[in-house]
Structure 1
Amino acid sequence: MATSYLTPGIYIEEVSTGPKPLEAAGTSTAGFVGRAPHPGARLHEPVAINNWSQFVKEFCQGKEVKSTPLSLAVYGFFENGGRRCFVVNIGDSPSLLGSGPKREGLDVLREVDEVAIVAAPGYTDPGSYNALLTHAEQMMDRVAVLDAPEDATVERLCEVGTVSAPVAGKEGEGGPPGPRRSKGERARDSKYGAYYFPWVSMYDPFDRKRLVNAPPSGHIAGIYARVDGTRGVHKPPANEVVNAAEGLATPLTREELGVLNQCGVNCIRFFPRDGIKVWGARTLSSDPEWRYLNVRRLFCMVEETIGQGTRWVVFEPNDLSLRRAVIRDVSAFLRRLWRDGALVGRTEQEAFFVKCDDETNPPEVVDAGQLICVIGIAPVKPAEFIIFRIGQHSGGVEQTEEAARG
């Protein structure tokens, strides 16, 4: 309603004419699904947890508390820089997805837009891998961190695992038939997942004198959060120290590391001087465009940010001024990313483009109630293999030797 001016004087009105800044979507909140130390606590609820003490209060009851893969992962998450996560306790349910008519298990995290990382610590079967990857692929705003089996071998990790029909038990044997598993252990191809091996040894948070092997997904999710806060989501979460890790359940040789890297398995490695570090930042995708984890996570953040930041556009008149406003706001956001080092290019034009004009919005598109904006970005990719060519100068003759560090 227009303001009525009845008395002579000066009137000041606030009018929104400038750009609407797009605030980058969060990337460091994790969602963990599994069995809590107290299996009946807060069943199938997405409980927000901001520190280890709060997790203990919510999910650990009684005097004698025993750790589970879920509790070890949450502890590792906060020890490695994580600040906020959502925990879904599925109790004694055999499946991550639950079996009831209501939304249960992993599906509960669909309600939480804040989650950008999902994991089911200790669930290392093909069915669980598929559930996590399908969840991330359908949500499109998060990645799945997968644990390799604790006792996996290099050969098994390079072959995708599958589950086929149950095998009938031999005569005289009791119990239902179990599923037939292939020799492979690796999760299927996906640009929304990352696969880690081996498990880490750590002191049990409920028994500081006892060393236990823990699935790495919690520690890794914490490293994601730590790197996001110190460097940004565009920095690969690798070559980073794994806190709260005393050793590795399966030490790897340099040759084994090379084989696993080519299979899309991100390894955790011990260095005599530097300690235990994450030594891989690849997705499970066979597509070279989505090979690197930081590229996938950067795109998740950009897509989520643009989607949230341009919501005001819905139902606005689809005219030239609206298109200019969209170009202005999106370009300003991408310009900040470029200046922060997330995009590669000597100039803005090399780093990104935003196109929203008559070419992308012909009359038939406008008549359909659509506004189409085409955006392109050039993400920074990691330097995985650092090669030094060392020359030996002797008597005027130069001999060269190529040394690679990967």
Structure 2
Amino acid sequence: MKTPGVYIVEKDAFGNGVVEVATAVPAFIGYTQRADNGGKSLRNKPMRITSMGEFMQFFGGAPIAEYTIAEAADEASSDITVKDKGYTVANPGQKYNLFNSMRLFYANGGGPCYIVSVGNYSDEISNERLKDNGIPPLLKEEEPTMVVVPEAIHLKDEDCIALQQAVLMHCQKMMSRIGILDIYDGYKQRNHPDGDVIDNFRNALGVNALNYAASYYPWVHTTIVGDTELGLQNIATDSLETLKGLLMEELGVAEAAEEGESPKITELRDLLAHIPNIREDAYSGPAVGELNKTLIVISPAFNNLLMHIKESLNLLPPSAAMAGIYTLVDNNRGVWKAPANVSLNAVTKPAVNISHDEQEDLNVTLHGKSINAIRPFIGEGVLVWGARTLDGNSKDWRYINVRRTMIMLEQSIKAATKAYVFEPNDSGTWTTIKSMIDSFLYNQWKKGALVGSVPEDAYSVSVGLGSTMTADDILEGILRVTILVAISRPAEFIEITFQQQMQKS
């Protein structure tokens, strides 16, 4: 001080606080109609969105799935029947389901998320794009806490597993997120002639980083795709002639006009004649929408065809729905609450109805790869009936909520402690850090994330010379903090014992 006067000095009285990081921010990797933000490409770049409207703004709409129609080889293989003649209905093209998975995510409570678009609807779904272009960009993003790849199940089985293993290794490296993995062919029964889908998944996945992932079985039938979204646009061009033929057979319309036929038959023939030409540039018949409405009114076969297509498109893997459930439970209760015994929205039924006995091997297995069941219950709907990670034999990381709560605690404290890097490694800094972490864990205990009748039973924080550090540590510039926490675990098995007693009066 050189000039006489009054000088004010402000001194901080309180240390920094720990801010709880977001716990429910999934990152979805897949294919979209486009990836554009005001003329700037978003391809292979994580983009944060908060609603389905924003998804459509940046990434476009749904793909148009085109189905082929062919005469069935036998009755067992037919999907629809017209006049005792069976037909198969199949989608031989690429099955892009990220768009519908996003709709399922938001239907189940989804919120902010990241989208990594690796291609558009003209690209082939490939392991290289999803793995090499989709996962690495997430290394630079700190916020995502889940990784979901709904289109992995449309790869070859070995490529699907390779992609899921890459997701596991990414989550283990980041230590801030978990993967939600779908079961390949998870719509099939376990006794399917092609093999047990659960055993195939367990045998192929390996044993690395299992505590950073959870998986659910079976796939689910949803109501995401509605009747009004389907029509002639979903019939492959080379099957339009077949469609015309089966409709003429159903409605009793001959190929050529017959003498004395009613005007109604003539009108039907003229109407059906437009079907094979709707994709031609010079098409001048009724609008496709009007043609759809007319066929829906006059043809039960056309309705059955659209119903089959709708069922096919609405059969979805459950990973996106579970990302929404995680978000819903986190927002309503907290990350420490197990995301189970919760009903799924926009889901009519699971693809496989699992019984109590059949779930035993899913939940508890010799090798520990627990698969969480999705089951229907009378009067309650379709519920998530499992809360385990794939590391089911680990007493540390058996439960999803324990794994995710620990991630939240670690990342929150890590972010807050970064402010003390390069501060003096002395008792003043140690006391400040300990006080900061103590305050944060006390609030977590009050919320119910940590278990104990008193705070001392729920957590402890140790830091200091002779406690967590040696003199050599201080010379090396190392400040060590040891934190012990008792995280809330779910009551997975409730046993009620009944015993008769002697009559007393």
* TM-score after normalising by structure 2: 0.68
Q: Indicate which of 159, 171, 190 corresponds to 2:199.
A: 159
Pair member with larger Rg: 2
Unaligned runs of 5+ in 2: 67-94, 154-159, 230-309
Displacement after TM superposition at 1:151 (Å): 3.5
Q: Equivalences for 1:32-111 in 2 at 5 Å?
A: 32-38=28-34, 42-61=42-61, 64=64, 68-91=96-119, 92=123, 94-96=125-127, 98=129, 104-111=133-140
Aligned mates of 2:10, 2:128 — CA distance in 1: 50
Post-superposition shift, 1:88?
1.1
1:139 aligned onto 2:167: no
| 8 Å CA contact 1:157, 1:186 repeated in 2 | no
Report the counterpart of residue 308 of structure 1 in structure 2.
Answer: 415
Once residues 46 and 153 of structure 1 are traced to their aligned partners in structure 2, the CA distance between those partners, rounded to angstroms, is: 36
2:165 paired with 1:130: yes
CA change 1:204–1:349 in 2 (3 A) is: closer
Moved more, 147-156 or 210-219: 147-156
Contact 2:451 2:487 in 1 (8 A): yes
Query: What per-residue deviation string (whole Å, max 9, x for no partner) do you get for residues 359-383 of structure 1?
Result: 2221110111111111111111100
Query: Does the 8 Å contact 1:160/1:188 carry over to 2?
Result: no
- Paired residue secondary structure (2:164): helix
Residues 56-112 of structure 1: per-residue CA shift (max 9 Å, x gap): 222225995888321122111111111111111222365455399xx6212211121
- CA displacement at 1:157 relative to structure 2: 4.7
The answer as to 2:58 corresponding to 1:18 is no
Match of 1:229 among 331, 341, 355: 331
User: Is 1:194 aligned to 2:222, yes or no?
Assistant: no
Secondary structure of 1:90's counterpart equals: strand
Tell me: CA distance 1:272–1:37, structure 2 relative to 1, closer, same or farther (3 Å): farther
Aligned residue pairs total 370
Which amino acid is 2:376 matched to?
A: F
Residue matched to 1:384: 492
Task: Name 1:268's counterpart in structure 2.
Answer: 374
| Aligned counterpart for 1:343 among listed residues 426, 430, 450 | 450
Contact 1:31-1:87 within 8 A present in 2 as well: yes
Distance in 2 between residues matched to 1:80 and 1:28, nearest whole Å: 13
AA partner of residue 329 (structure 2): V
Structure 1 residues 19-28 or 185-194, which shifts more? 185-194
Give the partner amino acid of 1:104: N
1:361 and 1:52 map into 2 onto residues whose CA distance is 50
Cα distance in 2, alignment partners of residues 14 and 245 from structure 1: 59
- Kindly indicate which of the two structures has a greater share of residues assigned to strand: 1
Q: Secondary structure of the residue that 1:32 maps to in structure 2?
A: strand
Question: Residues 229-255 of structure 1, C-alpha deviation per residue, up to 9 Å, x if partnerless?
Answer: 111111001011111112211111121
Query: Which of the pair has the greater relative contact order for Cα pairs under 8 Å at 6+ separation?
Result: 2
Match of 1:172 in 2: none
C-alpha distance in 2 between matches for 1:204 and 1:87:
20
2-side partners of 1:188 and 1:205: how far apart? 37
Post-superposition offset of 1:117: 0.7
Q: Which one is further off, 330-339 or 45-54? A: 45-54
1:389 is paired with a residue whose SS is coil
Higher helix share: 2
Structure 1 residue 55: Cα displacement:
1.4
1:296 aligns with 2:403: yes
Question: Take 2:63 and 2:318, find their aligned partners in 1: how far apart are those partners?
Answer: 27
Assess, with a 3 A threshold, how the Cα gap between structure 1 residues 158 and 147 changes in structure 2: closer, same or farther. Answer: closer
Is the contact between residue 103 and residue 224 of structure 2 (CA under 8 Å) also seen in structure 1? no
Aligned: 1:363 with 2:403: no
Using the alignment, how far apart are the partners of 1:256 and 1:208 within structure 2? 38
| Deviations 1:2-21, CA, capped at 9 Å, x for gaps | xx584645x55432220211
- How far apart, CA to CA, are the structure 1 residues paired with 2:325 and 2:422? 41
- Return the letter of the residue paired with 1:223: I
| CA RMSD of superposed structures (Å) | 2.7
Equivalent residue number for residue 174 of structure 1: none
TM-score by length of 1: 0.84
Matches of 2:423 and 2:124, distance apart in 1:
47
Unaligned runs of 5+ in 1: 163-183, 397-406
Relative to structure 1, the CA distance from residue 145 to residue 70 in structure 2 (aligned partners, 3 Å threshold; closer, same or farther) is same
Change (3 A) 1:325 1:71: same
Q: Deviations over 1:179-224 (max 9, x none)?
A: xxxxx46674510000111111112346557341011011100110
1:246 aligns with 2:353: no
Identity percentage over the alignment? 30
Letter in 1 for 2:319: S
1:349 Cα deviation from its structure 2 partner: 1.5
Residues 353/388 of structure 1: CA separation in 2 closer, same or farther (3 Å cut): same
Distance 1:96 1:208, change over 3 A: farther
Are the counterparts in 1 of residues 224 and 346 from structure 2 also a CA contact under 8 Å? no
